[in-house]
Chains A and B, each alone.
Chain A
Amino acid sequence: MTDGPLIVQSDKTILLEVDHPQATEARHAIAAFAELERAPEHMHSYRLTPLGLWNARAAGLDAEQVLDTLLKYSRFPVPHALLIDVAETMSRYGRLRLEKDPVHGLVLRTDDFPVLEEVIRAKKIEPLLGPRIDPMTVVVHASARGALKQLLLKIGWPAEDLAGYVDGTPHPVALLEEDWKLRPYQQLAVENFWAGGSGVVVLPCGAGKTLVGAAAMAVSGTTTLILVTNTVSARQWKEELLKRTSLTEAEIGEYSGAVKEVRPVTIATYQVLTMRRGGLYPHLELLDANNWGLIIYDEVHLLPAPIFRMTADLQARRRLGLTATLVREDGREGEVFSLIGPKRYDAPWKDIEAQGYIAPADCVEVRVDLPRDERMAYAMADDGDKYRLCATSETKTAVVERLVKTHQGEQLLVIGQYIDQLDEIAERLGAPVIKGETSVKERQRLFGEFRNGTIHTLVVSKVANFSIDLPEASVAIQVSGSFGSRQEEAQRLGRLLRPKADGRSARFYTLVARDTLDQDFAAKRQRFLAEQGYAYRILDAKDIATTG
């Protein structure tokens, strides 16, 4: 027993004492197999999950190393049952391998006869398999590669996919590293991905995921399909690629609701791919259109279910997933693992922040008191209306005005959920508003002006949540949010986390009506942010004028 920084709990969480001299060392050692769950200021907690352990196996770690790490850094004896469980779980990965056989094509091979016997008897798996070649090998229908991996994961025998990939149509892409350089962690992410074949790179918002994508394209040197969440994000990818790579306008196509271009590098939205007409997906053929050598999935944690099904058929193509978090609100982490691939690179927010690549954020919760009449209206409202009533309180508008005044001259975003409220605030501030009905062109124009500093204040609704790069925003004021979702919080904060030119710290205000539902939801957000390790303060609206 050492006096280490870790406390391994029998409920499969690992606590890491941040201030311990060995903390950094231990953090790096366990990051490979445990998922960071919470990162408040003193004690970070990690969780051991089968997926995490299999990710570690995919990265070449074996059970012995994991056990040694735990025993080495643990302050107290490690629960024995947990050690056994880790060893047992890790031994399950790779007992089955998908391989390419020169004669039979795709085969499932094993060194462990009973395991193969078990899986070929599973009802759902049986139809995916062809004839048995020898006791240890069975033919797999080429089209069933993805489905088989999914099912194998479900029954707890995740297969290692060693069957390789199609080459795709060659199409050279080069990075133009003139006034910038790929950061070391981006470089490492690309290397890890390429060595692993397919998989997911986890980087915090603002850490330059697009560049990881571009670098992967440069390594691949083939035609590439990029799947993104929406049109605005598609345009940003295009701009970034034009700026950072040798690709020209003519080589990049957009495939969205408005435009349908198929070019060597094509950027398509999830929405257009999953559009259904008469029970069919008319745009599905895009996936096979150009013999893609690489498929990039942006924001993997938002990948809609139909895309999973399509991805299942694309297992012979290299796949790169990019995301800020593997946590999915729908709990389909397993499908990401089996269909896109294991985690290939992961850097905790705090680490990258510490290296100065993303700006530290300062979160402030501003508590406002409802005036008496609103308080009564709130008290008597139906349950369904209560949240809207407290979230859109008039007093918040006044506080927004004061905050804007405090941060005069800084690039500032006001974020909210209720359009009426946003319109009113926009009017009071004299700032433009971007909402669902704003045309893409108009959005582009406003974002452009915000970026180059022509306008200082922008009021945005939910549409701004994803993938819009506003690197100069340094202050955000959230007036209302959608019921405390973790997702949303991460995204909103992400808006502010791009490194600032002058190294200022970003400020994130949340306005909360005291003693209402708003505060309950705020408590959830607060917990999430504090768990992510952000400094979190509470201010009374009355104190605004004097602080800031």
Chain B
Amino acid sequence: MSSIRILTAELAARSDKSLRSLFDARPDLISPPVPDFAALAARACARVSVARALDALNKPQLQVLEVLHLTTNEDLGQSARAGSLKPLIAGSTLAVIEVILKELHARGLLYRDPAGSGGYLAVSSLKDVIGLHPAGLGRSYPELVRTQPLVGARLLQTVQALHRFGAGVGSASTALEAALAMQSWVNAPGLLDQLLASAPETTAAMLARFSTGAMGAVENAQRAVRPEAADATPVDWLLARGLLIPLDNEHVELPSDVAIVLRGRVMIRDFTATPPAAELQRTRASLRTNAALGAIAELLRLETELLTQIRDTPLATLRAGGVGVREIRRLADALRVDTELTTQLLELAALSSLLVLDVDTSRWQPSTTGWQQLPREQQWLWLATSWLAADRAPFLASQSAARSSGAVGGAGPINALAAEAHRPDAPVLRKQTLFVMAELSAEDAGGPDTAPVLGEAAILARFQWRRPRLARRLRRLLPGFLRESELLGLTGSGSLTKVGHAVAAGTPEKAVGMLRAALPQPLTHVLLQADLTAVAPGYLSPELTAELNLLAEAEGQGPATIYRFSPASIRRALDSGQDAVRILDFLGRHSATDIPQPLRYLVEDTAARHGRLRVGPAVSFVQSEDDAMLRELTQLPALKHLGLVPLAPTVLISRVGARESAAALRAVGMSPALTEADGGVVKVPKTGPSVVRASGPVPSSTGGEDPAEAEIAAQLSALRSKPSWAPAGTETAPQLGLEILRQAIRLKKSVNISIVDSNGNHDQQVLVPLSVTGGRVRVYDPDREIERVVSIHRVMDVELADETDEKRAT
């Protein structure tokens, strides 16, 4: 019977509580909602979903599942129970395995043997997902011979040679006999140990390399070898004894029969039901807090400055995508930090939608999110939640990431903000990493003054236990995660902070309260000094910062900013429309002390020299001897859009072109004469860069991962309202069909298949399916004796051929 059908029945029989825990563990099952239990079961058996479920398993769970997968056979009705698995897993107990099997069953990865043996079977698509070598084991001798005819021929030769050599192997005349002979030979008690004792020196070390995988690369693997050769290399020696099987001329496989004996007649040797304890270094709790709060204040300061810089000059993108090194360097110089940090700040700003790409100009510009006006703790929350939910790995865009991967891939660095740093699994990995970090911190038994340092190695080691299948992907991203969490103050001095704990627990809002207390209020005064500087002793309110940036050049890097006044900077302020009185008044208001005399001199002297000549924009002019009439024109509401300003007696200037001005004047009853001196077109100067509205909404704090309670409740009631089995469901049918096809392939049976051709005609045929990949099925047509490929979406219905016969018979 199909596993989907069995699972459907099992799911329908479950309690609401059990279903809820299933949805918690596998949220993708009900997103989008499913119509009925059959669809739910079909989705639970789909490859993608099973792969996700495996990603969420810890090491012992995965190991039990692997062993169960190796020891069961759906078609032969061989199921497994805790008692049958325990002997194959060293270090396990019945109780532990029992619990794990229940967990796997609760997650819908196993179902009860319908024959009533009480054992478990794995869902059929597990085979496609679990990998080529579950538990690092290869195929058995018989299986190798069955699937690879050439291997069989060679094994026969080897066994015959061994038999002649007198090694104690039974004689064989067919490949299958040879395989069975090998199987019983290597399983003979103590034989392998005896054999290895006489093997060349490094043989044991070489076999040890097969502890995690069954395949190896060997040059000239199909070389001629003789068991009696004296000066054999370890590979020669193993090949000659049939302990390594050459698959082709480059690869060898260690048969599972040999591997299991080598592992002490178990499949799993490193089973630990509890996570291995981590050895952590310690840091001072005060250092941790110091580092984290320092990092947060610095991050917010730099992000603000970054946005200001980009507002003035939007960032150009390269044709190949992303922002080029030259732009990054320019930004880094302006921010007075290195390019590495600049890249990170930029990435963080972009993934928080503080920067958006303006598609018209293909430049990055600040968005109108209002982020800059938020209180600082809210700014932090915004950045932190965006980072948690971001499907990018910003670290990949930095130089050091390129360096660390340089040895392997040799690919150049990814440009900042380029699409290549996209990693859809980043949110899950981030969440899990934080979880692991919180877990490690909680286990640490240091005093209140110390804090555990969570090193890369410790986190990876724990992750390997907690999420073995995700660990590989994490390895490359972890250095970046750690640097980013340091940047966001989730960790300080390598240790998870209180803020970090709040985020790891999925409640970043809690951190906001802590930060509000820790981040000082913005200052509204500076210290003016005689060396023509103003020192802002701390975080300055944004308005004051903007004004000071106009009046002086910012210097230095850190919590305080030094602003240096110079004739050039004062001139810049004067250019922007300030005058000496206003500048001195502003400084006087915001200075904690008197304005030093040299500064007063500087402002007044510069202002005295400024503006002896004045230049301004005017697009057209209006001239008349009648000054009174001109004054009247400036007052007319209908002419407001002309922006008429008296420049001198008898002359007004207008900010629109001559023709337009003339038209407007005519409209109010005047009759101006139009003088166009050169007849050229007058251009209207471009106004300042516009800001672009952010496309996305404010980031949500949960990252959109977990289903809300309401959704689960709705889903449950929908499921309960329908009959449990409705095979016509759109989702179920193809899954069922595929399952039957795969079963037929495994059993080498033919199927009765109904195919729609391109004209929409149904056609019923009996075919032998050979393989299913990439949405197509390769079939053998016994009538015409040819192989064909059929697209799955053309298959309307499929049944095992003999099942149909049975039905016909009844």
Cβ-defined contact, A80 with B598, below 8 A: no
Bound: A42/B526 CA distance, A: 10
Q: Is A41 touching B530 in the complex (CB atoms < 8 A)?
A: yes
* Chain B residues positioned under 8 Å from A45 (CB to CB): 562
How long is the Cα–Cα vector from A75 to B559 in the complex, in angstroms? Answer: 9
With contact pairs A77-B293, A531-B531 given, residues A1 and B518 touching in the complex (Cβ less than 8 Å): yes
Q: Answer yes or no: B668 CB below 8 A from chain A CBs.
A: no
Task: Show the binding face of B for A, using Cβ within 8 Å.
Answer: 286-287, 289-295, 297-298, 336, 486, 492-493, 518, 520, 527-533, 535, 537-538, 556-560, 562, 592-593, 596-598, 601, 609
> In the complex, are the beta carbons of A527 and B293 less than 8 A apart?
no
**Chain B residue at minimum C-beta to C-beta distance from A39:** B531
Cβ–Cβ contact B558 & A42, under 8 A:
no
Q: Is A71 an interface residue when CB atoms closer than 8 A count as contact?
A: yes
Q: Does A17 sit within 8 A of B, measured CB to CB? A: yes
- Taking the nearest CB of chain B, how far is it from the CB of A75, in angstroms? 7
12 example contacts (A-B, Cβ-Cβ < 8 A) are as follows A1-B290, A7-B560, A9-B557, A41-B529, A71-B290, A75-B537, A76-B294, A76-B520, A77-B290, A77-B292, A77-B559, A79-B298
The yes or no answer to A538 lying at the interface (CB within 8 A) is yes
Closest residue of B by beta carbon distance from A13: B556
A80 touches B558 (CB 8 A): no
User: How long is the Cα–Cα vector from A41 to B486 in the complex, in angstroms?
Assistant: 37
B295 touches A527 (CB 8 A): no
A88 to chain B, nearest CB (A): 14
A78 to B295, CA, bound (A): 9
Tell me if A43 is interfacial: C-beta within 8 Å of chain B.
yes
B597 — which chain A residues lie within 8 A by C-beta?
A: 536-538
Give A530 to B528 CA distance when docked, in angstroms.
12
* Cross-chain contact A80 with B290 (CB below 8 angstroms): yes
B333 to chain A, nearest CB (A): 14
Known A-B contacts A15-B535, A43-B527, A530-B530; A77 and B560 likewise in contact (beta carbons under 8 Å): no
Asked if A134 CB lies within 8 Å of chain B CBs, one says no
Tell me which of A7, A10, A71, A538 contacts B298 (CB under 8 A): A10
Give the chain A neighbours of B537 by CB distance below 8 A.
7, 15, 17, 43, 75
Q: A7-B537, A10-B557, A11-B336 are in contact. Are A76 and B297 (CB under 8 A)?
A: yes
Contact of A11 among B287, B292, B557, B598 (CB under 8 A): B557
Residues of A within 8 Å of B592, CB to CB, are 42
**Additional A-B contact list (12), CB under 8 Å, known A10-B558, A15-B535, A40-B530:** A1-B290, A9-B558, A17-B527, A77-B289, A77-B290, A77-B293, A77-B295, A77-B297, A80-B493, A527-B532, A530-B532, A535-B530
A371 to chain B, nearest CB (A): 19
B530 nearest CB neighbor, chain A only: A530
- 8 tightest CB-CB pairs across the interface, nearest first? A9-B558, A77-B294, A530-B531, A80-B291, A11-B557, A76-B559, A40-B529, A530-B530
* Chain A contacts for B528, CB-based, 8 A: 42
- With A7-B558, A537-B597 in contact, do A38 and B531 touch (Cβ < 8 Å)? yes
Q: CB-CB < 8 A to A526: which residues of B?
A: 531-532, 598
Assess whether B559 is in contact with A83, with CB atoms less than 8 Å apart: no
State whether the Cβ of A148 lies closer than 8 Å to any Cβ in chain B.
no
* Least distance between A72 CB and chain B CB atoms (Å): 10
With a cutoff of 8 Å between Cβ atoms, the chain B residues found around residue A531 in the complex are 531
Near B by CB (< 8 A), chain A positions 24-70 give: 38, 40-43, 45
Q: At the interface, yes or no: A139 with Cβ under 8 Å from chain B?
A: no
The yes or no answer to A8 lying at the interface (CB within 8 A) is: yes
Residue of B336, B492, B598 touching A538 (CB-CB under 8 A) = B598
Instruction: List, in ascending order, chain A residues with CB within 8 A of B336's CB.
Output: 11
CB pair A83–B530 under 8 Å, yes or no, is no
Given A80-B291, A83-B287, A526-B598, decide whether A42 and B535 contact each other with a Cβ distance below 8 A: yes
B657–chain A nearest beta-carbon distance, Å: 41
Q: Taking the nearest CB of chain B, how far is it from the CB of A124, in angstroms?
A: 29
Chain A residue with the shortest CB-CB distance to B292 = A77
Give complex CA distance A122, B732 in Å.
72
What is the CA–CA distance of A492 and B299 in the complex, to the nearest angstrom?
45
Residues of B within 8 A of A538 (CB): 597-598, 601
Q: In chain B, what residue has the closest Cβ to A45?
A: B562
From DSSP, what is the main secondary structure of chain A's interface residues? mixed
Residues of A within 8 A of B289 (CB): 1, 77
Q: What is the CB-to-nearest-CB distance from A523 to chain B, in angstroms, rounded to a whole number?
A: 8
Report the separation of the CA atoms of residues A452 and B528 in the bound assembly, to the nearest whole angstrom: 43
A contacts, CB < 8 Å to B: 1, 7-11, 13, 15, 17, 38, 40-43, 45, 71, 75-80, 83, 515, 526-527, 530-531, 535-538
Q: Are B556 and A11 in contact (CB under 8 A)?
A: yes
- For A537, what are the chain B residues with a Cβ–Cβ distance below 8 Å? 597-598
Give every chain A residue within 8 A of B530 (Cβ-Cβ).
Answer: 40-41, 530, 535-536
Across the interface, name the chain A residue whose C-beta is closest to B600: A538
Closest to A9 in B: B558
Residues on the B chain within 8 Å of A76, using CB: 293-294, 297, 520, 538, 559-560
A524 to B147, CA, bound (A): 86
Which among A40, A45, A526, A536 has the greatest number of chain B C-beta atoms within 10 A? A40
Give chain A residues whose Cβ lies under 8 Å from the Cβ of B557: 9-11
Contact residues in A for B286 (Cβ distance below 8 Å): 71
CB contacts (< 8 Å) of B596 on chain A: these are: 41
Question: For the complex, what is the distance from the CA of A514 to the CA of B492, rounded to whole Å?
Answer: 54
Q: Are B558 and A40 in contact (CB under 8 A)?
A: no
User: Given the complex, which residues of A lie within 8 Å of B560, measured CB to CB?
Assistant: 7, 9, 15, 76
- For residue B532, which residues in chain A have a CB less than 8 angstroms away from its CB? 526-527, 530
Check if B559 sits within 8 Å of A80, measured CB to CB. no
* In the bound complex, CA of A43 to CA of B562 (Å): 10
Give complex CA distance A7, B539 in Å: 11
Q: How many Å lie between the Cα of A17 and that of B560 in the bound state?
A: 11
How far, in whole Å, are A7 and B298 apart by their CA atoms in the complex?
13
Instruction: Among B289, B538, B597, find the residue whose CB has the most chain A CB atoms closer than 10 A.
Output: B597
Q: Which of B528, B559, B609 has the most CB of A within 10 A?
A: B559
B residues near A9, Cβ cutoff 8 Å: 556-560
- B residues in contact with A77, CB < 8 Å: 289-295, 297, 559
Residues of A within 8 A of B292 (CB): 77
Knowing A71-B290, A80-B295, A83-B287, the reply to whether A11 touches B529 (Cβ < 8 A) is: no
Report the Cα distance A130→B268, complex, angstroms. 58
* One of B291, B593, B601 near A42 (C-beta < 8 A): B593
Q: How far is the CB of A73 from chain B (nearest CB, A)?
A: 13
- Beta-carbon contact of B527 and A42 below 8 Å: yes
Which residues of B are found within 8 Å of A7, using beta-carbon distances? 537-538, 558-560
Tell me, in angstroms, the Cα distance from A1 to B298 when the chains sit together.
Answer: 15
Report yes or no: A530 in contact with B295, Cβ–Cβ below 8 A. Answer: no
- CB pair A79 B518 closer than 8 Å: no
B298 to chain A: which residues have CB within 8 Å? 10, 79
A530:B529 contact, CB within 8 angstroms: yes
Bound-state Cα–Cα, A71 to B284, Å: 12
Looking at the assembled complex, report how far the CB atom of B559 sits from the nearest CB atom of chain A, in whole angstroms: 4
User: CA of A17 to CA of B298 in the docked complex: distance in angstroms?
Assistant: 21
Cα distance A8–B537 in the bound complex, in angstroms: 10
**A532: nearest chain-B partner, CB-CB:** B531
**Are A80 and B294 in touch, CB under 8 angstroms?**
yes
State the CA gap A332–B610 with chains docked (Å): 42
Distance to closest chain B CB from A47 (angstroms)? 11
Residue of A with least CB distance to B567: A523
Give the distance to chain A from B567, nearest Cβ to Cβ, in Å. 8
* Interchain nearest-CB distance for B670 vs A (Å): 49
Nearest-Cβ distance from residue B49 to partner chain A, whole angstroms: 43
User: What is the bound-complex CA distance between A79 and B287, given in angstroms?
Assistant: 10
- State whether B294 touches A79 (Cβ < 8 A): yes
- In whole angstroms, how far apart are the Cα atoms of A41 and B336 in the complex? 26
A11 to B597: give the CA distance in the assembly, Å. 29
CB distance from A48 to the nearest CB of B (A): 12
Give the docked Cα–Cα distance between A9 and B298 (Å). Answer: 10
Shortest CB distance A40–B (Å): 4
A75 to B558, CA, bound (A): 12
User: A41 vs B442: C-alpha distance in the bound complex, in angstroms?
Assistant: 49
How far does the alpha carbon of A11 sit from the alpha carbon of B294 in the complex, in Å?
A: 13
A527 nearest CB neighbor, chain B only: B531
